[in-house]
Structure 1
């Protein structure tokens, strides 16, 4: 206490200034640490975004062969921007098909795909409308796991849950007879094109003959024994 009592105003001011300086130094060090941590996180995030933008993305889906078509296909597609290599696909349970394609699909999935460039789309026959009539019922969903290698090495496995139960019924804009309608339209177009081709008709010669009758186009001589002019094609 004696030492504190011996301090004058100048000493107290000096102590206060030193204390403020220490506090400021601590705060500055803390802010610098936060800035370094934030910068490191931003750098890691930028690297992650850049890596994800340059990774291949192989998806698996089950869809209709085409709108309104009862056939279903298993689709494997690379929607990424780089080449996927050694693509291995597995399912949570063996694929079953009322169409009889289950064994073929299991054989396809048992072998890795060596390479899939960007945009590559593979389609395999999966099943048809008989699947919805199977007894006992066949599965309407599968969980697919995709493993592949990208430009940065082995990628983390990706899982897709594919539920295709909605394919049992056609959507509002799809008509069951759509394919038949298209076929009839194709036939109609072919008939119209055939009808629009140049046709040949005979032009009659109406020059008067000594007998006073016009020439005829039925015997090829005009009734005079002389050959008629050739037929003129008209549109």
Structure 2
């Protein structure tokens, strides 16, 4: 082979080597590009996760804030309850009561009842209807309005025994959440027998009598000598009076 052949072979080898180097560089570049893409994707995933965590934390914070505001509001709102029950323990008189058990003033109290209230005493029915149909301008904390509802004959009359009450009112921060509850008079059927209305008073009087007896016993023990001397003086005085005046 002459010089030109060797030159051709050398040129081909150089070209082949250059092609190999170029291929290796291309593969390296492609691998680097894939690695860079994975890093970029991982970075995007981290940003997305961090964003979702931030949004979740903000949502939890908003929910906690809303719950705290609601609890604070409910703790400072009026709470008006309508009930039917005995006037006092052992009493056979049933009364309708409208009671604000909340800590603040209730205003514009409106009551709805289903079915309409009805008593066995004809004169009580219109009074009950008036009590629950009118708007109560204000009901201070712990204020209780009481209306005669019925007597023990209720259980022998063919009248409704179950009532659904709905109460709307306004408090210091505006309208209060509507309260709906049910009163079932059948629950009271066995309760009205109860204790005698004066039983508790008699019990208190008995306790007072016992304490007075104990106090008298303690006083007598502490002052027995003085009491005995007093009794002896009284007996001696009565004896002298009985003997009459002595001679000169």
TM-score by length of 2: 0.69
Quote the residue 1:207 is aligned against: 240
1:162 is aligned, of 159, 166, 183, to 183
Aligned partner (choices 42, 52, 56) of residue 34 of structure 1: 56
The answer to whether the 8 Å contact 1:87/1:147 transfers is yes
Offset at residue 179 of structure 1 (A): 3.0
Q: Paired residue for 1:74, among 90, 96, 101? A: 96
Give the C-alpha shift of residue 205 in structure 1.
4.0
Where does residue 166 of structure 2 map in the other structure? 145
Q: Is the 8 A contact 2:86 2:192 kept in 1?
A: no
> Cα RMSD over matched residues?
3.4
After superposition, give the CA deviation of every residue in 1:149-189 in whole Å (9 maximum; x if it has no partner).
Answer: 111212232111111212222379x33xx136567779999
**Structure 2: which 5+ runs fail to align?**
1-22, 217-233
Quick check: 1:99–1:131 contact (8 Å CA) kept in 2?
Answer: no
Of the structure 1 ranges 61-70 and 12-21, higher mean CA displacement relative to structure 2 is found in 12-21
| Per-residue deviation, 1:18 | 1.7
Quick check: 2:88–2:197 contact (8 Å CA) kept in 1? no
* Equivalent in the alignment of 1:113: 136
Structure with max Cα Rg: 2
**Inter-partner Cα distance in structure 1 for 2:141 and 2:96:** 18
CA separation in 1, counterparts of 2:45 and 2:238?
Answer: 120
Give 1:126's match in structure 2, choosing from 135, 149, 152. Answer: 149
Q: Alpha-carbon deviation of 1:69?
A: 0.9
1:29 deviation in Å? 1.3
Q: Could you say which residue in structure 2 is the equivalent of 1:103?
A: 126
CA contact (8 A) 2:77 2:103 kept: yes
Higher helix share: 2
* Partner deviation per Cα, 1:107-142 (whole Å, 9 max, x = no partner): 1222111111111111111111111122xx111110
SS in 1 for 2:164: strand
User: When the two structures are aligned, how many residues end up with a matched partner?
Assistant: 199
Contact 1:99/1:130, CA 8 A, preserved across alignment: no
Q: Give the distance between the partners of 2:203 and 2:127, measured in 1 at CA.
A: 36
**1:55 is paired with a residue of what secondary structure?**
coil
Equivalent-residue separation in structure 2 for 1:33 and 1:93 (angstroms): 50
- Distance change (3 Å), C-alpha of 1:139 and 1:6: same
